[in-house]
Amino acid sequence: MNTVAAILLAVALSFVLAFALGFVLIPWLRKLHFGQTILDIGPAWHKSKQGTPMMGGVMFMISTVTAFAAVLLTDYFCGGNLFASGAFVERNIKIKLIGGLLMALGFGLIGFADDYIKHVKKRNMGLTILQKSIAQIILMLAYLATIYMAGGTYMSIPFVGNVELGFFYWIFGMAVMYATVNAVNFTDGVDGLCASVTSITALAFLIAACLKGLFGVSLLAGALMGGLLGYLIWNHHPAKIMMGDTGSMFLGGMVVALAYAIDCPLMILFFGIIYVIEMLSDVIQIGYFKMTHGKRIFKMAPIHHHFEMCGWKENKIVAIFSLIDLLGSAVGLALFYYGVIAR
């Protein structure tokens, strides 16, 4: 099968499947009373979202995995081999991709447990920070150990080349994964925001993987993008369903998986610049609050809530933040091409 056709097929199939799942999942979740609980600490107008079905992340999780697997099987039975394209013949890249997908699903399960406790068992705090952190650390170590055993403990740095990280591989990997997964989780706070931003991030990884000849990676990125676009039909403001931690933690895992699959985790800083901004705004807010004994820089953190409190409508926040992520992705792709591919 032609690689471009395969990627387009993955995007289209994932889009249709995620969209179709909305017709089944939303009424089912309403029937089970799996609805959003709005805390008093958030913007007052978010109270209108009370009861909106949660765990919508299942829609793009199912569509991503199904579309990716279906296109690979179709290609295989048609006599093709997408995994033999370019540098993807390297064993450690295959392990990074498949292992990364399993890792992302694992994060999704952690998020599902958190959502289930909060919205079904009606315990607002869900998993404790300690419980969630321990589960995440175990999952991160398992993924990093898988890459380590495959011999993939290097990283591509633009204009430098492949750098063997040695022991720093573990420290760097844990920091990148923990920060990314939780930063993506922070971004999920306005209708359509996290899905819109991450669909752009997935597109950037799709292009980067194509530039490097990693068409199997592009296929997975395309399946993710298609699923998010199908989900957005239901999630744009006013949202009929929310992804919950189930979806946001899966997306964080997928961003990490795609970054490691192209051997350049540093691209998260550009392709996911909104995640970085969201995370930094929260860290700055907490740090400043503690240092000044109660003063705040932002009206509310993460920063998308600050703009809400300033009077921005949710659609405006989504549009501006998506544009910023698009610009960051364009800069990242230029650095990736000239610093890694054309070097």
How many C-beta atoms surround the C-beta of residue 212 within 10 A? 23
Which contiguous run of DSSP H or E holds residue 235?
helix 215-235
Confidence (pLDDT) at 31:
82
Task: Give 128: exposed, middle or buried? Use CB within 10 Å, 0-12, 13-18, 19+.
Answer: exposed
Whether residue 165 is predicted with pLDDT greater than 60 in this model: the reply is yes
Domain boundaries, the chain: 3-341
pLDDT single digits (tens) 99-149: 999 999 999 999 999 888 887 766 666 788 888 889 999 999 999 999 888
Q: What is the pTM of this model?
A: 0.93
pLDDT single digits (tens) 6-25: 999 999 999 999 999 999 99
Angle between helices 91-119 and 215-235 (to 10 degrees): 20
Structure tokens, 144: 């990093």
Contacts of 42 (CB under 8 A, 6+ apart): 305
Contacts of 165 (CB under 8 A, 6+ apart): 153, 154, 155, 172
pLDDT single digits (tens) 267-317: 999 999 999 999 999 999 999 999 998 899 999 999 999 999 999 999 999
Helical spans, DSSP H, in 41-167: 57-77, 91-119, 129-149
Residue 184 identity: V
pLDDT single digits (tens) 222-262: 999 999 999 999 999 999 999 999 999 999 999 999 999 99
How many C-beta atoms surround the C-beta of residue 292 within 10 A? 10
